[in-house]
A and B are shown apart, each in its own frame.
Chain A
Amino acid sequence: MRQYVIRRVGYCLLSLFLLSLTIFFFVRVTGDPATLLVEPGASDADIAAIHHHFGLDQPLWTQYGLFVWSLAHGDLGQSFYYQTPVMELYLQRLPNSLLLAFVAMALSLLIGIPSGILASVRVGGFWDGFGKLFSLLGLSLPSFLVGLLLILVFSVYLGWLPSSGAGGPLHLIMPAFALGWYFAASHMRLTRSSMLDVLGSEYIKLARLKGLPQSLVIAKHAFKNALIPVLTLAGINLVIMVNVAVVVEVVFAWPGIGRLLYEGITFRDFPIVQGVVILGGAMIVIVNLFVDILYAVIDPRIRLES
């Protein structure tokens, strides 16, 4: 077990290293990074100051070292527009994105899991057809389009829900639905295939042979076993949700890190963009590590593989 954890931590660190390297590389690959790292319309003196501050006249290795050093200290630079450290802005907005992602995840599981179960119980039946349609629509409708259409129907025509901002729970419904849409289809697909696997197993056969009613067989015996891979995926998807929520946050003016990223793009505030991307990537890598370890804790067979 220890070996497994050490290996996984090693991979995690390696990934973080490669991530920082990638970011570093791309920032410098197009020429003078000073143009990015400085406010639009800065004077030559400012540019020279930036060169000095980031050590841009120094060899690449030193630059990279400085870069990693500041990353490790949580220093992601300062936003031009807000005149505040990027890290501070990020942490300020993060709870909002987490809230949105949690609700979106809950919705996607509430929709995805039952429909996946129903689709698997009778292959070729009505629910299976509905499931296939839903799955297709989930892949084909981008989240922001779903958001825009929701606004059209529920804000403009029906006037039931507010179309922007973060007020009470009513403000949360539409963005959470738009964000969760794609993932609901994804969870439905996985639940369905997981259920089909489980329903073909010997212990389900025995459960039926015991004379248990079909509803009990599915609700008790099949359900719990089928859920394991789905919940694992959900855990990883949560973090991904936080990061791809940018369009939904823009459509609904939701004050999360996605919106922060958008501001960074619109105001050409590069430190924000870089910061959000680095932190997003790091978040995903670290959460993957935790999920791997959690899996090993639950399933003893994984620990043996070393």
Chain B
Amino acid sequence: MPAAPLLELDNLSTHYVSAQGTRVVRAVDEVSLRLNAGETLGIVGESGSGKSTLALTIMRVLPPAARIVSGRMLLEGADLVQKSETEMEHIRGKRIAMILQDPMMSLNPLFTIGDQVAEPIRVHEGERRATAWSRARELLRAVRIPSPETRLTQYPHEMSGGMRQRIVGAIGISCEPRLLIADEPTTSLDLTIQAQYLKLLHDLQQAHGLALIFITHNLGIVAKMCDQLAVMYAGRVVESGPVSRIFNAPAHPYTRALLNSIPRMTDSDQRLVAIDGQPPDLSALPPGCSFAPRCPQAMPRCRDAPPPPFAPEEGRVARCWLVEPAAVGGDFRVASGAG
């Protein structure tokens, strides 16, 4: 395993504070993760679990009401939390890039495709228009858009959904970032297009040595694309580790429930298993474990105190009292941020 991780999140917390300072929503709560170069990390959770806010936190493109209240984000050793806005502008798009969910909304309707793809190249690398446009053309070719030459002068509303998402992908890789964050990139695509798009992302990753953070609620995609997995619930990472290990032996009851709720073709006579209850209100979290109200294995202890991150095995973390080593008062190892 390479020595230093590409990206390391250490106890990161992002809160939304209401105007009067009365309501605090703990959107991201003490998240620790580690990502190495070239790896793919999947972040999974229900809507409201904080996955998108986490992505925006890493990019430092938060809405005005949100604040990073604690923690560090180390990109190749440098803490992004400490960087000024200007320094972040140099990092965004160039060293870390992000793809958003809805390509129709993320492309500016009044500017041509060529303009929007060439833009980061011109801004970050100072290229002249002609050079940037020919690079844009190559990028469109790289994301497998037919006849890129004509596309450059067209507008977003003239493209299909799948093509728009590829264009957004092209924008993402245009300056050869080390890390690409994809926030539910296939959710708004047709099923048939999804598979093609995932293959594209995978190939791009191989070709450019990109690390990829894939945010999704679809465990199937995680199984196909990701090396590592982090499961989020109510703003916290409740379980993280290698995908295969977690799928084989999930440690946290929420992960287990998620895996169980995937309908399988093989057991057709079983009912669909849903998870009881609703996701919690992030401004009024219960004391103790946030999942306890919905957890089939909840113990009295779970309602008293939130579980710290434990290590069920080497390289895995789970925030669950069930995972705590059995010896009470014995010395248990609390994993510190290893993912």
Interface on A for B, CB 8 Å cutoff? 123, 201-203, 205-214, 216, 221, 224-225
Task: Output the least CB separation between A98 and chain B (Å).
Answer: 30
Chain B interface bracket (under 10, 10 to 19, 20 to 34, 35 or more): 20 to 34
* Top-4 shortest CB links A-B: A211-B93, A211-B92, A202-B105, A210-B93
In the complex, given contacts A202-B106, A206-B107, A210-B92, what are 12 additional A-B residue pairs having Cβ atoms less than 8 angstroms apart? Answer: A123-B64, A203-B108, A205-B61, A205-B100, A208-B92, A209-B92, A209-B93, A210-B171, A211-B91, A212-B89, A213-B86, A225-B108
Cα-based distance from A207 to B105 in the complex (angstroms): 12
Task: Output the least CB separation between A302 and chain B (Å).
Answer: 14
Task: Output the least CB separation between A224 and chain B (Å).
Answer: 5
Whether a CB of chain A sits under 8 angstroms from the CB of B126 is no
Interface on B for A, CB 8 Å cutoff? 59, 61, 64, 85-86, 88-94, 97-98, 100, 102, 105-111, 119-120, 123-124, 168, 171
Q: Which residues of A contact B102 (CB under 8 A)?
A: 202
Partner pick for A211 among B94, B106, B168, CB 8 A cutoff: B94
Q: Which residues of B contact A202 (CB under 8 A)?
A: 100, 102, 105-106
Q: Which residues of A contact B171 (CB under 8 A)?
A: 206, 210
Partner pick for B123 among A206, A211, A214, A225, CB 8 A cutoff: A211
Q: Tell whether, in the assembled complex, residue A203 and residue B61 are in contact, meaning their CB atoms are under 8 Å apart.
A: no
Task: Output the least CB separation between A25 and chain B (Å).
Answer: 47
Partner pick for B89 among A201, A203, A211, A221, CB 8 A cutoff: A211
Whose C-beta in chain B lies nearest to the C-beta of A221?
Answer: B108
Cα-based distance from A259 to B119 in the complex (angstroms): 53
Cα-based distance from A202 to B156 in the complex (angstroms): 14
Q: Provide the main secondary structure of the chain A interface.
A: helix
Cα-based distance from A203 to B110 in the complex (angstroms): 11
Q: Which residues of A contact B97 (CB under 8 A)?
A: 209-210
Q: Tell whether, in the assembled complex, residue B124 and residue A203 are in contact, meaning their CB atoms are under 8 Å apart.
A: no
Q: Tell whether, in the assembled complex, residue A212 and residue B105 are in contact, meaning their CB atoms are under 8 Å apart.
A: no
Q: Tell whether, in the assembled complex, residue B108 and residue A208 are in contact, meaning their CB atoms are under 8 Å apart.
A: no
Cα-based distance from A224 to B110 in the complex (angstroms): 8
Q: Which residues of A contact B88 (CB under 8 A)?
A: 211
Q: Which residues of B contact A203 (CB under 8 A)?
A: 105-109
Cα-based distance from A97 to B135 in the complex (angstroms): 53
Q: Which residues of B contact A221 (CB under 8 A)?
A: 108, 111
| A211-B108 in contact given A205-B61, A205-B100, A206-B168 (Cβ < 8 Å) | no
Cα-based distance from A211 to B94 in the complex (angstroms): 7
Whose C-beta in chain A lies nearest to the C-beta of B61?
Answer: A208
Q: Tell whether, in the assembled complex, residue B105 and residue A209 are in contact, meaning their CB atoms are under 8 Å apart.
A: no
Q: Tell whether, in the assembled complex, residue A209 and residue B89 are in contact, meaning their CB atoms are under 8 Å apart.
A: no
Cα-based distance from A212 to B98 in the complex (angstroms): 13
Q: Which residues of B contact A210 (CB under 8 A)?
A: 92-93, 97, 119-120, 123, 171
A–B complex contacts, Cβ < 8 Å, 11 sampled: A123-B64, A202-B105, A203-B108, A203-B109, A205-B106, A207-B108, A209-B97, A211-B91, A211-B93, A211-B124, A225-B110
Q: Tell whether, in the assembled complex, residue B100 and residue A216 are in contact, meaning their CB atoms are under 8 Å apart.
A: no
Interface centre among A201, A202, A203, by most chain B C-beta atoms within 10 angstroms, is A203
Q: Tell whether, in the assembled complex, residue A209 and residue B107 are in contact, meaning their CB atoms are under 8 Å apart.
A: no
Whose C-beta in chain B lies nearest to the C-beta of A223?
Answer: B110
Partner pick for A216 among B94, B98, B123, CB 8 A cutoff: B123
Whose C-beta in chain A lies nearest to the C-beta of B90?
Answer: A211
Cα-based distance from A146 to B110 in the complex (angstroms): 39
